[in-house]
A and B are shown apart, each in its own frame.
Chain A
Amino acid sequence: MHQIELRNVSLEYNSAASLVTALRNVSFGVDASEFLCVVGQSGCGKTTMLNIIAGFLQPTGGEILISGKAVKGKGLDRGIVFQDFAQLFPWRTAQRNVEFGLEMKGLAKQEREEIALRFLKLVNLEKFARAYPHELSGGMQQRVAIARALAYNPAVLLMDEPFAALDALTREEMQLFLVDVWRETRKTVIYVTHNVAEAVYLADRVIVLSPHPGTVKAEVRVALPRPRDILSVEFLDKQKEIVSHIVARK
């Protein structure tokens, strides 16, 4: 059984001119501890799809199952990290940001602090527990956001281009770091990106979405050993393979 499964998920909405189909019959499953990347051109509906999985949007068709059970709406079984650094609460220190989900779960103060510090340590920011977000760099803020989304122990971690707003060097560093965190926590991850190299670097499996309407076009398994050599022939071949799916005509 898949940890999380999308079955024929569709989303239609009325625009001023006509009925728009943003997603049509998107189906795939993700196994426990699997790292899945979803790639596609902008406008292919990948962020919409992630928002449906997160429960911010209701699909007009199909369903989402977590551990075999259909889920509706938002829930603590999914953690989410956005692209924008502004997702952190500026009025809370790094530690108090990480504590937020635990507070909502009703955990006692001492337990919250313990867990928050453990996850800040996981993202190498235990020294910055008392810093406010604006005192941290973009990469550090995204690490806090990852710690925050992991701290309340969701079954699935959803990531919407979390490193897209970072400079190239920091982005590479963060990709390395994310693989470490993922190997340590063994989380199931659904990671949306438009960056094919990033997808090949991170994923066990890559799903290619094609636009208008958003549908699953291809599925590519990436079985390269980690850490991956981004200059190896196999790595570049995988990239080519995925790009060919993206640019191929219907």
Chain B
Amino acid sequence: MRVRSTLGALTSIAVACAVWEGFARSGFVAPALAPSLEAIGAAFVRMVLSGTLLRHTLYTLYRVLFGFVLAGAVGVPIGILMGRFRRVERFFGPLVSVLMPIPSLAWVPVFILWFGLGNAATIALVFYAATFPVIVNTWTGVRSVNRLWIRSAEAMGADERALFHKVVLPGALPFVIAGLRQSFARAWIAVVGGEMIAATSWGLGWVIFDSKEFLRTDVMMASLAAIGMIGLAFERLVFGTFERRTVGRWGMVKAVRG
């Protein structure tokens, strides 16, 4: 199974690469603007060897993970409380409805004024972008917890606290995981956008933006590829594994084979 799914992933990536290569060689845009796979690969290797790619990646990862973990730590409890208590729902519901549709990038100028250029502004941005999907999904998850589980637990003497930890949280987990996934994707969008504007000299978003000044499309594409690879790694290793070992193992969702 493992081998087959890896093969599948490789095939789809190979097809995408072939399409790119076709586009690069078609002459539709100048070769300097659409570098071949070879040029991108060379830039990638160069950046790896010089250590700059690692450093850019670490900066970006730090910002993403900081904001993402914060979003989870805030979003999951708010979502649970909203699903469980009408009053909390009434308080946060309208706030979520108002704030969620505002693109996180629209906040960049405000955050720069508040936090200055650098990590703090980018992390705040990631946090903003990543919190709402967690809240909304967790909230939905709690509301869709099977009532029979609640009834059974109550019949066996569960109080509100036990209900919370032992029934509502695991019962809502498929939705919480979906929310975290979505939120992670939004965190990446925010971090790259944020780094383009608010970062000083490190980060994958910054390097992409900076390369434009020097027409280094190979560096741009190599950095984009790095973002994609990290995304794939997280999806497979973190979310995929967590899902397989919890809700997949429990038969609550059909496990993604991988």
Stretch at the interface among B122-130, B162-170, B195-203: B162-170
Stretch at the interface among A64-72, A127-135, A233-241: A127-135
A78 to B157, alpha carbons, bound, how many Å?
Answer: 10
A76 to B251, alpha carbons, bound, how many Å?
Answer: 29
A76 to B153, alpha carbons, bound, how many Å?
Answer: 11
Determine whether the beta carbon of B148 is less than 8 Å from that of A84: yes
Of B153, B162, B173, the contact of A91 (CB 8 Å cutoff): B173
CB neighbours (8 Å) of A78 from chain B are 155
A91 to B177, alpha carbons, bound, how many Å?
Answer: 15
Interface size classification for chain B: 20 to 34
Query: Counting CB contacts under 8 A, is A43 at the interface?
Result: no
Determine whether the beta carbon of A82 is less than 8 Å from that of B152: yes
Of A55, A56, A82, A132, the contact of B251 (CB 8 Å cutoff): A132
B157 and chain A: residue at smallest CB distance: A104
Determine whether the beta carbon of A75 is less than 8 Å from that of B167: no
A74 to B152, alpha carbons, bound, how many Å?
Answer: 11
Q: Is the interface of B mostly helix, strand, loop or mixed?
A: helix
CB neighbours (8 Å) of A105 from chain B are 157
Q: Is the interface of A mostly helix, strand, loop or mixed?
A: mixed
Determine whether the beta carbon of A100 is less than 8 Å from that of B156: yes
CB neighbours (8 Å) of B156 from chain A are 76, 79, 100-101, 104, 148, 152
A134 to B246, alpha carbons, bound, how many Å?
Answer: 13
Query: Counting CB contacts under 8 A, is A90 at the interface?
Result: yes
A74 to B155, alpha carbons, bound, how many Å?
Answer: 6
A134 and chain B: residue at smallest CB distance: B251
29 contacts across the A-B interface (CB closer than 8 A): A56-B154, A56-B155, A74-B154, A75-B157, A76-B156, A80-B151, A80-B152, A82-B148, A84-B148, A87-B149, A88-B152, A89-B153, A89-B170, A90-B251, A91-B170, A91-B171, A91-B173, A91-B246, A91-B247, A103-B162, A104-B156, A104-B162, A105-B157, A134-B251, A135-B251, A148-B152, A149-B155, A152-B156, A152-B157
* Chain B residues with a Cβ under 8 A of chain A: 146, 148-149, 151-158, 162, 166-167, 170-171, 173, 246-247, 249-252
* Chain A residues with a Cβ under 8 A of chain B: 54-56, 74-76, 78-80, 82, 84, 86-91, 100-101, 103-105, 132-135, 148-149, 152
15 extra interface residue pairs, beta carbon distance < 8 Å, beyond A79-B155, A134-B251, A152-B156: A54-B155, A55-B155, A74-B154, A80-B151, A82-B152, A87-B151, A89-B152, A89-B171, A90-B250, A91-B173, A91-B247, A91-B250, A91-B252, A132-B250, A133-B251
